[in-house]
Amino acid sequence: MKEITAIIRTNRIQKTKEALVEAGYPSMTVKEVLGRGKQRGLQQEFCLDIPEPDDGELLPRISFIPKRLLTLVVDDEDVDSLVVLITKANQTGSVGDGKIIVSPVSDAVRVRTSEAGHVALS
Amino acid sequence: MEMVRAILRPNSIDRVVCALEETGFFSMTRMDVFGRGKQKGIRVGEVQYDELPKTMLMFVVNSRDTQRLIDTITKVANTGNIGDGKIFISPVDAVYTIRTGESGL
């Protein structure tokens, strides 16, 4: 069992949800978060290169950018196809498309019935 | 690779982020959460506050950088009082950059 955490652009969440539902993964958790990558947020509108480590004073900037965090817990064999699916739905080619993180989960329990393991996911 | 989730006081976040920038950790995700520890919140006079506002910082770093990250956060966020927060570390199998589709940080 794996947890897929995707941090994506806010305006792509609808497209991602549609793609996931179509592929048969309707369950997910979505949260509004703020984030940034190695560009340290938005420094200037058209300057999204990685800043030099020794350039001293940083320009005025937006240090955290609103993002959506999407979490799914799925079986091991579904991970690869989901990564491709989420990548496809979110790829624009510009900096800030987001990251997908795959981490192990030891168990899942459905609260309504106390079922554990694989059946709790389906 | 490891995921580090630090649940900290909201008013310590700016200091922590500045210190992390100096140490070389630029990428992070920040979210506002509510939480409590074994003190079950806080009691002010007659009023019991069950859940206290906290801010969670989430990082994914290479395993060799984890200790340096934890040291920086604990040093800056430490006030010595109850409620400074907790840091959780969990394993990560893989990371993908959506723009390029490449694996790795």
Q: What is the pTM of this model?
A: 0.85
**What single letter denotes the amino acid at residue B92?**
V
Interface contact B98, partner A, CB < 8 A: yes
DSSP B58: E
- If you measure CA to CA, which chain A residue comes closest to B94? A102
pLDDT of residue A53: 63
Q: Is residue B9 part of a domain?
A: yes
Q: Which of B24, B27, B101 sits opposite A37 (nearest CB)?
A: B27
Q: Is residue B14 part of a domain?
A: yes
Say how many C-beta atoms besides its own lie within 10 A of residue B49's C-beta: 13
pLDDT of residue A52: 66
Interface contact B95, partner A, CB < 8 A: yes
Range of the domain at B67: 2-91
Look over chain A and give the mean of its residue pLDDT values, rounded to a whole number. Answer: 88
Q: Work out how many CB contacts closer than 8 A connect A with B.
A: 77
Q: Residues B20-58: pLDDT tens digits? A: 999 999 999 999 999 999 989 899 999 999 999 999 999
- CATH number of the domain bearing residue B19: 3.30.70.120
Place of tokens 């509108």: A45
pLDDT of residue A19: 94
- Looking at the complex, report in whole angstroms how far the Cα of residue A73 sits from the nearest Cα belonging to chain B: 14
Nearest alpha-carbon partner for B94 in A54, A17, A52, A86: A86
Strands annotated E in chain B: 2-8, 28-35, 42-44, 47-49, 52-61, 85-91, 94-97
CB of A40 closer than 8 Å to CB of A95: no
Query: What's the start-to-end Cα distance of chain A, in Å?
Result: 12
More confident residue, B105 or B70: B70
Confidence of residue A115 (pLDDT cuts 50, 70, 90): very high
Residues of B in contact with A6 (CB under 8 A): 98
| Count of domains for chain B | 1
Mean pLDDT computed over A49-65 = 69
- What are the structural domains of chain A? 2-121 (3.30.70.120)
Nearest alpha-carbon partner for B73 in B3, B2, B8: B8
CB of B78 closer than 8 Å to CB of B85: no
Q: What is the C-alpha separation between A20 and A34, in angstroms, rounded?
A: 23
Q: Is the dihedral of CA A99, A73, B3, A61 positive or negative?
A: positive
> Which residues 1-60 on chain B approach chain A with CB closer than 8 angstroms?
3, 17, 21, 24, 26-31, 58, 60
Q: Which of B26, B95, B96 sits opposite A38 (nearest CB)?
A: B26
Q: Is residue B101 part of a domain?
A: no
- Looking at the complex, report in whole angstroms how far the Cα of residue B81 sits from the nearest Cα belonging to chain A: 27
Interface contact A73, partner B, CB < 8 A: no
